[in-house]
């Protein structure tokens, strides 16, 4: 069977981490590169990724996450913080990055720039925040898949106070908002959930061919 499917069957939302095991720098770099390569609408990546290792900050985040042990037992906490609102300067910088990366003239990308500005930037503030948060979830998916291939455990989490996370990490003044988080590390032998059968819809119930 394809190793990708085997990896995805291996992973689960880890509830208990082995606090004595840390992710190597090399594996962490690979994991983050997988997140960097995530798909996003227009390729804009309207988010910032925070890798939290500081024990004191993690204790504060744990309190803001209803004292869930994953926040301090895992190797790192990954915070996906989306931009609440983009502006023309953000889009212009993205267009410049494309031009430099692909050895093009910025002027040749004006049509693309106009399309982005006339669509995404025209959304009401709440809709733009919602759109950006959805993009961060795509990046989370890339984290889960890359981690599974490295046999690194992940617990994606929504059970936290986003407002408290924003305050602790100083995100408000940066125009960012905590969208979703993930604790990463290695499963504890005491976590019985690793032995539980994976429960999903059957293929017949899930897939529709038209």
pLDDT confidence of residue 142: 98
Q: Dump pLDDT digits (tens) for 165-209.
A: 999 999 999 999 999 999 999 999 999 999 999 999 999 999 999
pLDDT confidence of residue 2: 80
CATH of 3-206, one of 3.50.30.40, 3.40.50.300, 3.40.109.10, 3.20.20.70: 3.40.109.10
Q: Dump pLDDT digits (tens) for 100-150.
A: 999 999 999 999 999 999 999 999 999 999 999 999 999 999 999 999 999
What SS3 string covers the chain? CCHHHHHHHHCCECCCECCCCCCCHHHHHHHHHHHHCCCCHHHCCCEEEEEECCHHHHHHHHHHCCCCCHHHHCCEEEEEEEECCCCHHHHHHHHHHHHHHCCCCHHHHHHHHHHHHHHHHHCCHHHHHHHHHHHHHHHHHHHHHHHHHCCCEEEEECCCCHHHHHHHHCCHHHCEEEEEEEEEECECCCCHHHHCCCCCCCHHHHCCCC
pLDDT confidence of residue 1: 53
List the domain boundaries for the chain.
3-206
pTM to 2 decimal places = 0.96
Average pLDDT, the chain: 97
């Amino acid at each position: 069977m394809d190793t990708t499917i085997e990896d995805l069957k291996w992973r689960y939302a880890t509830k208990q981490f082995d606090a004595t095991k840390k992710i190597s720098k090399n594996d962490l770099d690979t994991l983050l590169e997988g997140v960097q390569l995530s798909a996003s609408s227009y390729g804009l990546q309207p988010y910032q990724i925070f890798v939290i290792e500081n024990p004191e900050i993690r204790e504060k985040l744990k309190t803001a996450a209803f004292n869930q042990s994953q926040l301090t037992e895992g190797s790192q906490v990954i915070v996906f913080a989306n931009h609440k609102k983009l502006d023309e300067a953000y889009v212009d910088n993205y267009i410049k990055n494309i031009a430099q990366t692909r050895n093009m003239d910025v002027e040749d990308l004006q049509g693309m720039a106009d399309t982005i500005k006339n669509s995404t930037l025209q959304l009401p503030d709440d809709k733009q925040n919602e759109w950006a948060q959805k993009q961060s979830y795509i990046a989370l998916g890339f984290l889960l898949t890359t981690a599974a291939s490295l046999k690194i455990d992940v617990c994606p989490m929504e059970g936290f106070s986003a407002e408290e996370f924003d305050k602790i990490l100083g995100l408000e003044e940066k125009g960012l908002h905590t969208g979703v988080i993930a604790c990463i590390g290695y499963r504890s032998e005491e976590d019985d959930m690793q032995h539980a059968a994976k429960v999903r819809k059957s293929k017949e119930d899930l897939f529709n061919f038209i």
